[in-house]
Amino acid sequence: MKAYLGIDVGSVSTNIVIYGEDGSIINGLYLRTRGRPIEAIQKGLQEAAENLPSDITIAGVGTTGSGRYLAGVMVGADVIKNEITAHAVAASSAVPDVQTVLEIGGQDSKIIIIRDGVVTDFAMNTVCAAGTGSFLDQQAARLNIPITRFGELALKATATVRIAGRCTVFAESDMIHKQQMGHTLPDIINGLCEALVRNYLNNVGKGKEILPPVVFQGGVAANVGIRAAFERALHMPVVVPEHHKIMGAIGAAQLAAEELKNNGRSTRFKGFQIAGLAYRTSSFDCDGCPNNCEIAEIYEGDRVIGRWGARCPRWDVI
């Protein structure tokens, strides 16, 4: 059976999916990037290869996320797409009539407005970490609570505690103040979930027409407390897909499948053996014009296989 490889490289997680041509998820991996995307990609590909059934052939590869160009030149991607497109495609396949996609990742958050299967509007917040997964991880560690129990505790709240959620620093100091006032831990955690949702809707969702069905994806979608807070704020049900953590990678694989089926060409995928090759990156400033572009490049062994960051084709690798 043919299958398609999807890779989503983000600041916090690197997700890899093997998507069957019948629409099945043959394998899905969620790995921590830990500031080393090349190592995360290679580790993920190695794990994917080890668990790949012998009758599966990779017919195409798509990459997305903030590290999509890096991943694309490493693996020989057929499609390199932005996160908005990948998440919209995956959400539409999970919930065909979806009209709003809420996505909260480790370092950023986004909202995607879809009408009649077409993205009509979107917004992203990449400036502040308040309201993202890394902020929740930080607060869970400070409270000595496993992040997996965060949402469960929020649902046990019995009183409303308002936490200032516009800034990570203010939110943390406000939480400490509420603890000193004697509020219970579930009430404080629920207040934090509501603050995150309030911050999201007032910033990323500001001015957007949020209509049902609403799909919530990204790593933070696993937090039932955040989901419940969204449902209270929006006064409508929020759907969390089964594979919410890896929806970007699923979308990338689906886009690769569509591209290759439409064009009828064979894949550029280099094979899983790249997991054992030596890669390194570097960068330099181009002084060819007043733009002074910072050019990033990646080496496979001693050979440059890709460059990006230029506003002109001067440094393109053929």
Asked whether residue 215 falls in the same domain as residue 299, the answer is: no
Residue 116 domain flag = yes
Say what the pLDDT of residue 262 is.
Answer: 87
Asked whether residue 157 falls in the same domain as residue 196, the answer is: yes
Q: Where residue 194 sits, what CATH number does that domain have?
A: 3.30.420.40
Asked whether residue 203 falls in the same domain as residue 306, the answer is: no
Listed in sequence order, the residues at least 6 apart from 116 whose beta carbon sits closer than 8 Å to its beta carbon are none
Asked whether residue 179 falls in the same domain as residue 297, the answer is: no
Mean pLDDT of 207-221: 94
Asked whether residue 226 falls in the same domain as residue 147, the answer is: yes
Report the domain count for the chain: 3
Say what the pLDDT of residue 192 is.
Answer: 86
Asked whether residue 12 falls in the same domain as residue 58, the answer is: yes
Mean pLDDT of 212-221: 94
Residue 167 has pLDDT above 80, yes or no: no
Asked whether residue 197 falls in the same domain as residue 114, the answer is: yes
Residue 318 has pLDDT above 70, yes or no: no
Residue 138 domain flag = yes
Asked whether residue 37 falls in the same domain as residue 126, the answer is: no
Listed in sequence order, the residues at least 6 apart from 220 whose beta carbon sits closer than 8 Å to its beta carbon are 104, 105, 132, 133, 136, 226
Mean pLDDT of 27-50: 94
Asked whether residue 173 falls in the same domain as residue 254, the answer is: no
Residue 206 domain flag = yes
Asked whether residue 204 falls in the same domain as residue 108, the answer is: yes
Residue whose tokens read 């979107």: 122
Asked whether residue 75 falls in the same domain as residue 105, the answer is: no
Tens of pLDDT, residues 175-210: 888 888 888 889 988 988 888 898 889 889 999 999
pTM of the model: 0.90
Domain that holds residue 156: 97-240
Tens of pLDDT, residues 74-113: 999 999 999 999 999 999 999 999 999 999 887 788 999 9
The residue among 90, 93, 98, 73 whose CA lies nearest residue 9 is 73
Band (11; pLDDT cuts 50, 70, 90): confident
Most confident option among 234-248, 260-274, 303-317: 234-248
Residue 92 domain flag = no
Residue 268 has pLDDT above 70, yes or no: yes
Band (130; pLDDT cuts 50, 70, 90): low
Say what the pLDDT of residue 4 is.
Answer: 97
Handedness of CA 156, 139, 107, 299 (dihedral sign): negative
Residue 193 domain flag = yes
Mean pLDDT of 210-226: 93
Asked whether residue 61 falls in the same domain as residue 109, the answer is: no
> Which own/partner contact pairs does 267-271 have at CB distance under 8 Å and 24+ positions apart?
267/58, 267/59, 267/60, 267/61, 267/76, 267/78, 268/61, 268/76, 268/77, 268/78, 269/5, 269/58, 269/60, 269/61, 269/75, 269/76, 269/77, 269/78, 270/74, 270/75, 270/76
